[in-house]
Structures are given as structure tokens and as C-alpha cells.
Chains A and B, each alone.
Chain A
Amino acid sequence: MERIPILRMGSFLLVTIQVDMHDRLALALQDDLMGRIRETRARGVLIDISALDVVDSFIGRMIGNIAAMARVLDADTVVTGMRPAVAITLVELGLSLPGVRTALDVERGMKLLTDGTQPPDQRGRRAR
């Protein structure tokens, strides 16, 4: 069965989704990722979805779940590179992913993660 590779970069994990997400793949990713976070004691996870052009409610919820689970394991999650169409779809589905941090591209996402040790800014929604 195909799997989505999880790359380690220092104390962070990098996941780039380059294929069409289907439900079983998403579930496998969730399992693998949680295993890797524990194994590597990663402090943060970066999920790049810039190649993803279709989402449904299941995938949207999976992203939210992965972030919540990672948080339980004390790792930050940043989702990067979401396309406009995907963002609109998720909002219309009512999945605005509260608590998930987002960035425009991988570079900024990495910066968010490395700065993550600093206290959250005054925006409030970052507070957990």
C-alpha cells in the first residue's frame, strides 16, 4: 500500500502531500505520523498541502484531527500552502480548523515552528 513519506528535519517532521488524498491514505498518515512523533520526539510537524487541489469533509477533519493529536503529543502543527479553492471549500464545509496554524509556504511554516518556543503573540487565537 502506498504511503506518504514523513521526513525528519532536525526536531521537526515534514510531510508533503503530493498525491490525491483518499481516506485510507489519510488514516495511514495519521498512524505513521503519530508513531514518528513518538519515535523522534519531534517538537513540530509541518504539513505541506500545496499540491492538494481537492478536499472533502473527511480530509478536512483529518487535518484538524492530526493537529489535535500532535498537540497531545506536545508537537506543534503548521499547515502550509493551502490553495484558495481548498480554503474556500473548507470554510464552506464549516471546517475552519481552529487551533491549526497556517502559513503561506514551507519556508514561512518552518519559521513559525522554529519561533514556536516564543510566547504566542497578542492575537489570542494562537493561545491554547
Chain B
Amino acid sequence: MPEAAPTRLPDILGRHQQEILDDWLKLQAETFSRRRDLISDEELKQQSASFLQGLRSAAATDLDPRGPAWQGVRDLLGEISTSRVRQGFSPSETATFVFSLKQPLFARLNRELASDTRALAEETWTATRLLDALGLHTTEVYQRGREQVIVRQQQDLLELSTPVVELWEGVLALPLIGTLDSSRTQVVMESLLQQIVDTKAGVAIIDITGVPTVDTLVAQHLLKTVAAARLMGADCIISGIRPQIAQTIVHLGVDLGDVVTKSSLADALTIALNRAGWVVTRTAPGQAAR
């Protein structure tokens, strides 16, 4: 430990715990007055008290905020930050929870050590160092919580965005929405092929109406999917090709080979039904304009 003299922080914290807590809570109430809707006074008070308690006992054993003695405090702060992420606090508001302790604590140190400026400077520095490290820790945990949310949402999105639907007996449709990248193509391909096995479908329609752009890479991914389905014995039709996309495909020199393409899903379904030997007839004279 770099500190030669033991700090008087835990002693001061212990003797004035209640006062510091009261001052701190008052300060937080002022800072967070507009955040009352997110967290109750009772919860804030309880969190503040247990943090102060933890700070005191940890500072009594060790002054390295990364050391094992501080594990309890770090865990507590981790919990607080995670719950604040969910409650909708911003990162600076979360970190301010720790930083706002400085003012009441320094005021107390000032009063206690007024006679000894050297000790005062020393203790102030120690307290600043500890609180800064802990405040940064809350920000880190906050960030990690956010990242976990993002990763989870990405996975959800990946699963949600690749449904395979059975349009007719033996006809599957795969409406693709969003950009196709390698990992998504993999998921799309796997779910389509599995569905082909499960339903024994002979035709699969890949609808790319919702795919914003088709470049050489996306086209290659599509062709791979078509080739894999063909290997399993199912034919693929690509539908939903918008005029701009048709132009892009030709300008890029992408060769779609002998894959059947249709401009709309309805056309593709007609072809698929034809191939399967279905005939769709209308029994009543139609009212709809044709």
C-alpha cells in the first residue's frame, strides 16, 4: 500500500455517519429533484446508507478500491447501476450518486481537520481517489448493462426477422426484411432448410421486398441459399424484386443464373401452385377489378 499513515477516513465516517448521510441525501434530493418519478426516497435512502456503511468498513481495511476488501462495495454499486439502467437514469446521473458524496464528506473533513492542513490535504486526496474510482466503476457497470441489452435485442431481432411461413401445402415463403449479412444469411438458410425437411415442401419462395439494397454480397448470399435448397430437392423462386433493385443487379453484373425471379409474391405463388399441380378457380363472378 502506498499510504504510510493509516487514514482517518473510516473513523470520521463512523463518527458522523448519520450527519453525512443526511447531508448527502439532501444534496441528492436537490440534484435529482426532477428524477423523483424514477426512484423512491425510501429506496434512495437505503442505497445511500448501505453504500456509506460499505465505504466505511472497506476503507478501514484497505485503501485500494480494486482490492478484495472493496468487493462488497463494488457489488453493491453494480447492483445500483444495473437497477438505474432499468429505471432510465443517464450515465452521468448514475455516477453522480457517488460523486455527490464528496461535498458532505469534504465539509466534514474540513471541520475535523481544520487545525492540520497537511492531514486535511492527505485525507481529501484519499477520499477523492476512492470516490472517483467507485464513480467510474458505476459508469462501467452502467455501460455493460446497456451493452447486454443491445446484444439481447440483436439476437431477438435476428430470430424475429427470419420467419418461414407455409403458404400452401408444399409451398414455403421466406419474407426477408432488413439487410442481409453473413450471419443473418446463415440463420435464414438454416431455418429455411430445416423447414423444408419438416414440411416436405417442394417449392420455397424467397421474398426480398423488405431488403433495402442488393449488392454483390447479398446476391451471393441469396444464390447460396437457393443452391442449398436445390441440393435438398426444393426449388426456389426469388420474388419482390423492386425496379431499382433489378437495375442495381444488372449494373453490378450479378448473374442470378437460372434462378426463377418474379416481381411480386403473388406471381411467385401462382408459379409455385402451377408446378405443384394446383388450379385455383373462382366460383362466383368476381367483384374485384382485375
B202 at the A/B interface (Cβ < 8 Å)?
Answer: yes
Secondary structure of the A contact surface, majority rule: mixed
Contact A102 B197 (CB under 8 A): no
B235 at the A/B interface (Cβ < 8 Å)?
Answer: yes
Determine the distance from Cα of A92 to Cα of B227 in the docked complex, in whole angstroms. 10
Determine the distance from Cα of A72 to Cα of B42 in the docked complex, in whole angstroms. 86
* Residue from B189, B196, B224, B227 whose CB has the most chain A CB atoms within 10 Å: B227
The total of interchain contacts (Cβ-Cβ below 8 angstroms) comes to 59
B232 at the A/B interface (Cβ < 8 Å)?
Answer: yes
Contact A108 B258 (CB under 8 A): no
Interface string of A82-106 (1 = CB under 8 A from B): 1110111011100011000011110
Contact A123 B231 (CB under 8 A): no
User: Which residues of the other chain, A, contact B241 by a CB distance below 8 angstroms?
Assistant: none
Given contacts A84-B194, A87-B193, contact A104 B231 (CB under 8 A): no
Q: How far is the CB of B111 from chain A (nearest CB, A)?
A: 73
Residues from 199 to 230 in B contacting A, C-beta threshold 8 Å: 200, 202, 224, 227-230
The residue of chain A having its C-beta at the shortest distance from the C-beta of B229 within the complex is A87
Determine the distance from Cα of A31 to Cα of B226 in the docked complex, in whole angstroms. 32
B14 at the A/B interface (Cβ < 8 Å)?
Answer: no
Can you pick out 6 interface pairs between chain A and chain B where the beta carbons lie within 8 Å of each other?
A84-B190, A87-B231, A96-B231, A102-B231, A104-B202, A125-B258
**Chain B residues at the A interface, C-beta cutoff of 8 Å:** 189-190, 193-194, 196-197, 200, 202, 224, 227-235, 257-258, 260
Q: Taking A91-B227, A92-B224, A104-B232 as given, write out 16 further A-B residue pairs in contact, using a Cβ cutoff of 8 Å, ordered by the A residue number.
A: A79-B231, A82-B231, A84-B193, A84-B194, A87-B193, A87-B228, A87-B229, A91-B228, A96-B231, A102-B232, A102-B233, A105-B200, A108-B202, A108-B233, A109-B233, A123-B258
**Chain A residues at the B interface, C-beta cutoff of 8 Å:** 79-84, 86-88, 90-92, 96-97, 102-105, 108-109, 123-125
